[in-house]
Amino acid sequence: MIIGVTGDYASGKDSVADILIEKGFFHVSFSNLIREELNKDKKQITRDNLIKRGNELREKYGSKILARLSLEKVKEGENFVFTSIRNSGEVELLQSREDFILINVTAPEKVRLQRIISRNRESDPKTIEDLRRKENIERSNDPNAQQLHKVAKMAKIVLVNDTTIDNLKIKVDKLIADWIFKLQPSRPSWDQYFMGIAETVKERANCMSPKKGAILVRDKQIISTGYCGSPKNITHCNENGCKRCKERHLGNLKSGDYSVVCICAHAEENAIVQAAYNGASTKRTTMYTTFTPCNVCARMIINAGIIEVVAKVQYPDNVGTKLLKEAGVKLRVLK
């Protein structure tokens, strides 16, 4: 999970981050990314310089640049806390992920000013008026500038931090417990899973026509795969093995003209043949194929006892589709 933390001056953003770090979260600060840029140019690290350089980066590379750079640091299976999020474009990119949530840490203005005075930093505001003036600098409507007011409104959770650090820890503990499972990335459906595998299988195709892939599945287990191309021990189509495909790509034959014999086997055909070669029954299986089958493959599917065909793209061969329907083979084209 990735927890983004935003909030006004002295609201407790860093305290929340520290609590999460203690719990094993990796910390990525957008401000640190800007500090690295200032260090390269040997510029002094001040709040004003950080704001200026951050705005320059957004103007040059787009409003989402800091979010993109931060996401490059994310490791799969680990928890992260992102801080110093100050632009709505950054939030839009982060919220496109299923594992991200933004929280806005708040505290009353007087409480925040007291915290600021207590930490006694030279550049910090000393009055309510100074505090408001400083915060207004970070509330721009410029899409490439700091937009803390807009970022705060985009937060899914408001975390009120107006008492002790112990109470804040309790709230952070509850936050994690409430969201740790909700923010787990969703798994693909079985259709998405098997079609994704068929898409990978098709990358092995050596036919010069559009690449196609097919797999046979029974009880959610793959029993066979196939892709289009020349038969075993025959020169690959894309290496001048099939005269018909070569002539078509040279412009001497039109698509659909089979006056010259094509030697390539279709993906569905190969999936069925490979099952037979390995002694696996195709009876009552489901075929996932990147294209709906042609009429020849449809006949093989029917006679192989396949009961369902799931396709990604509609192939322009209505004969095959009609044969499947008449034989009672279920056909689904994924949307």
Active site residues: 268
Residue 10 near residue 161 (C-beta atoms within 8 A)? no
CA angle 171–172–173, rounded 5-degree value: 90
Bridge partners, residue 6, by sequence:
104
Q: CB neighbours of 304 closer than 8 A, spacing ≥ 6?
A: 272, 275, 282, 283, 285
Please choose, from the candidates 102, 101, 99, the residue with its C-alpha nearest in 3D space to the C-alpha of residue 86: 102
Tokens coding 79 = 């928890």
**What is the C-alpha to C-alpha distance for residues 241 and 328, in angstroms, rounded to an integer?**
37
Residue 241 near residue 263 (C-beta atoms within 8 A)? yes
Strand, helix or coil for residue 283: coil
Segment holding 165, helix H or strand E: helix 165-179
**What is the C-alpha to C-alpha distance for residues 14 and 19, in angstroms, rounded to an integer?**
9
Please choose, from the candidates 285, 282, 289, 276, the residue with its C-alpha nearest in 3D space to the C-alpha of residue 213: 289
State the SS3 of 88-149.
HHHHHHHCCCCCEEEEEEECCHHHHHHHHHHHCCCCCCCCHHHHHHHHHHCECCCCCCCEHH
